[in-house]
Amino acid sequence: MILSQEMYSLIPLGTMWVLLSALCIPSFCFDFFSPYDFGVLSILLAISYLFANIFSFGIPATLYAHIPKLMPDKQKAYDFLKSNFLFQTALALIGLGMLYVLLPHIDARFFKLNLPHYYYGLTVLSTLLYIWQNFVRDSLNAAERFMHINIATTVSSVVRIVLIVVCGYFGVLTIPLTIIILGIVAPAVVFIMVLPQRIAVVQSLIRHSVERGHIKLSFTLPYFISTQLFNLTTRADLFLVAYYLTTVDAGQYSVAQRVIFVIITSIDSITQVLSAEYAKITTREEIIRLIKKSFKYMAIPSAVLVMFALTPAALYAVFIPKAYMPSVPIIKLLSLAYIPFAFDAALLLFFLYTLKKPMFVLYVNIIMLALVTTLHVIFIPQLGMQGPVVSFGLTYLVVTIVIGLNLLRELRLLKH
C-alpha cells in the first residue's frame, strides 16, 4: 500500500519548514560570531553530527526496514525497539567515552584550535542526545506517526532559533552556549514533546524483554558502515579545507557547507517518510509508481538548489555579512554539484528497503568516499575553496550512472 494523499501532502510542508528553520540558524550566527569563531563552532558541530551518525551503528535503517512489518504485533514491536535502543546506547556510550579522551589529541594534531576541555565535553554530550533524538524520530517515522514527531521537531526548531537570537541580542552568545542550545536544549524539547504523550508506550517498553534475535546485524552492519562512509564523504571537505588552508577559510567554507546540509536535511526528511513505504512494496508497478512520486517530492529541494545557484550575489549580501561573502560563489557552485544527490537518495531507498540489499548501498558509498577524498586532496590545494565543488560534481556524476544502471537491471528481474 502506498502512502495516502494526505500523508504525501505533509512532505512539501515539512520540507519547506526544514529548509527555512535550518537556514535561519547560520544566518543569525553570522551576526554574532567572527569567521574564526564560526569556523571553530562549525568544526565542533560537524564532529557532533558526524559521530551521532557513526554511533547510531546503522540502527535507523533497521527500524525502517523492520518496524512496518512488526506493527501488527505490539509485543514483538516493543521488544524490537527496546533491544535496539539498549544495544545502540551501550555501544554509543563506549564510543563517546573514547571520543572524549581522543578529541584533545585530534585537535592538537589536526585542527590546532587549542580549546578548553569542557568544549569537548559539551560536544560529546550533545552527540549522545542527538543519537537518542534520532532514535525517537526514526521509530515514530517507521511506525508512520509523522504528525507527532513533526510537531515536536518544529517546536524544537523554534525554541533554538529564539534562544540564539535572544542570547545574541544581549551579547551573551558564545560557542559553548550555542552548542548547549543546539545539542542539548533542542533534543530535550523533542523528548518533552513526545514522551509524556506516549507514556503508555514508554511504560510498556520498560516492562518488555531484551532479545538478541532482534539485533539484525546482517542488515545493520553493512548499512552502518555505508552511512559512516557517506558521513565522511560529506564532511571531509570541511576538515580538509581546515587542514590545507586556514581556520578562517574553514569558517567561510562552512557557510556554504551548512547551506548544503540544509538541503541534505530536507532530503532526509523526505526519505524518512518514504522509507516505510519502500519496505512494503514488492511488484515492479508499485516500485515504478513510488519512484515517480519520490522524484516529484525530491524536485522540491532540487529546485531550491537551482534557486541558490541562480540567486545574484547582491541578494546574498542582504543576509550574509561582508566577512563571509567569499562563501557566496561556493554556495552557488556547490548547489549545482549537489542536484543529482536528491534523486540518488530516492533510488537507494529501493535497494535498501525493497530489495533488502544494504551491500549495494555500501558499495555505492565506498565509491563515493574513495573518489571524493582523492579529488579533494588533488583540487583543494590547487583551487582552494572551489576544490570541493569539482570533487562533488564529478563524484555525483559517476554515482548517478552506477545507481541508474543497477536500477534498470533490478527492475528487469522483478515480477510484474
Per-residue model confidence as pLDDT tens digits over 141-200: 777 776 777 788 888 888 888 898 888 888 888 889 989 998 899 899 988 888 766 665
| Tens-place pLDDT, residues 38-89 | 778 878 888 888 788 788 877 777 777 777 777 777 777 777 887 788 888 8
CB distance 35 to 251 below 8 Å? yes
In the block, residue with C-alpha cell 555501544: 91
Q: What is the DSSP string of 183-251?
A: IIIHHHHHHHHHGGGGHHHHHHHHHSPP-GGG--HHHHHHHHHHHHHHHHHHHHHHHHHHHHS-HHHHH
Task: Please give the grid coordinates belonging to residue 306.
Answer: 537551482
Q: Coil, helix or strand for 64?
A: helix
| Cβ atoms within 10 Å, residue 410 | 17
- Please say if the pLDDT value at position 6 is more than 60: no
| Tens-place pLDDT, residues 281-304 | 878 888 899 999 899 889 988 998
In the block, residue with C-alpha cell 561582508: 322
